[in-house]
Amino acid sequence: MSDKPQLSLVVAVYNGENFLNAFFDSIKAQNLDSLELIVVDDGSSDRSAEIIAQYAQEFANYRVLSQANQGVSAARNTGLAVATGEYLAFPDIDDVIHPGMYPRLLEIALKNQLDVATCNGTYIYDDGRPSKKIFPSDKLASTDVLEGPVWLQRALASRKFLHVTWLNIYRHDFIKAQGFTFEHGLRHQDIPWTTEVLLTAKRVQYIDETYYDYLIHSASVSHTPGTNDTRMRSARHYMKILEMLNTINLRYPEQVKRVPACQWQIAKEGLGILHSINNIDDPAKRKEITQELFDRGIWQMIWRNARGLRQRWRLGRRYFRLKRYLAES
């Protein structure tokens, strides 16, 4: 019998002292007999290292790696490079993982020889709003085993799909064969990661079972009003994401023919960039980022990938506004 663990959990930690006890307890509650837990301390300056060390005796196969702060993608790559499990997962430490999530995903993955197994989760708001499913059941139902492009088209076409790593487990040999890693220094790098993984996966299955609470903090950077500088940074991150998505589409032309929503999502994310630019109230900064949008060919890419009258109409309206920004003195 192979000594290879069934699952490697790669956990990026940066100043997570407020979440680590609950996180590790949730992993213990999974009751996995064949688990490799890889914790990457990404330069924490709080008590994270101390708490991580306290749990060394709680898991049979527990590995701690430390590095200078480089961001979540670099931390995931550090853990990915040393993982030995048959399947991989990348949970976030500040969310809630319900008992049974990983045993259930492993059950269907091993039974059906899946490249990717994925489940549902719940949005939990800390401002009193009612919780809701991440993937509404009337938009995305449980599937049989599908080819990755088939699932990606279905998911994107629902308009309710969330590009995340933490609802999935991945077959390690598949990830290794494709040479997939996470993009350093990029916010929302789950978007290109998920797109490329699903375009190339042969066997994927989704179960509409909720095992993960995604906590939305009203005070977080993503959910508070931005400044001109944060909006410019966001626009640049998403420009990079669009360039990556465009490269992915060019890399897999046959698969993309089966997933027209891959082009739709470039225009959809592009509209988000235009929204960020529109909210910049400093004319000089607004002109700077708009000029960059055209100089990098982002506008042309967005327009070329737009699908349907609605997207083109929305983009057309914004084009003339962008031109006005460029004319501002």
List the one residue out of 293, 279, 296 whose CA is nearest residue 326. 293
More confident residue, 220 or 210: 210
**C-alpha separations of 4 from 36, 172, 178, 268, 317 in Å:** 9, 11, 20, 41, 56
On whether both 62 and 202 belong to a single domain, the answer is yes
pLDDT at 3: 82
Q: Does the pLDDT at position 147 exceed 60?
A: yes
Share of the chain above pLDDT 70, in %: 97
The two tokens of residue 108 are 């269907």
- Whether residue 311 lies inside any domain: the answer is yes
Task: Give 148-176 pLDDT, tens digit per residue.
Answer: 999 999 999 999 998 999 999 999 999 99
Q: How confident is the model at residue 239 (pLDDT cuts 50, 70, 90)?
A: very high
What is the C-alpha separation between 197 and 191, in angstroms, rounded? 10
On whether both 265 and 117 belong to a single domain, the answer is no
pTM: 0.93
Residues 6+ apart with CB under 8 A from 20: 13, 48, 51, 52, 55, 93
What is the C-alpha separation between 105 and 142, in angstroms, rounded? 13
Structural domain of 258? 225-327
- Can you tell me the mean pLDDT for 273-298? 96
Residue 274 in contact with residue 286, Cβ under 8 Å?
Answer: no
Share of the chain above pLDDT 90, in %: 91
Average model confidence (pLDDT) for the chain?
94
On whether both 178 and 315 belong to a single domain, the answer is no
On whether both 203 and 233 belong to a single domain, the answer is no
Task: Give 172-207 pLDDT, tens digit per residue.
Answer: 999 999 999 999 988 888 999 999 999 999 999 999
User: What is the domain count for the chain?
Assistant: 2
**C-alpha separations of 119 from 103, 140, 200, 301 in Å:** 12, 11, 19, 32
What is the C-alpha separation between 66 and 41, in angstroms, rounded? 5
pLDDT at 187: 84
On whether both 135 and 231 belong to a single domain, the answer is no
On whether both 252 and 123 belong to a single domain, the answer is no
Residue with tokens 């592009």: 270
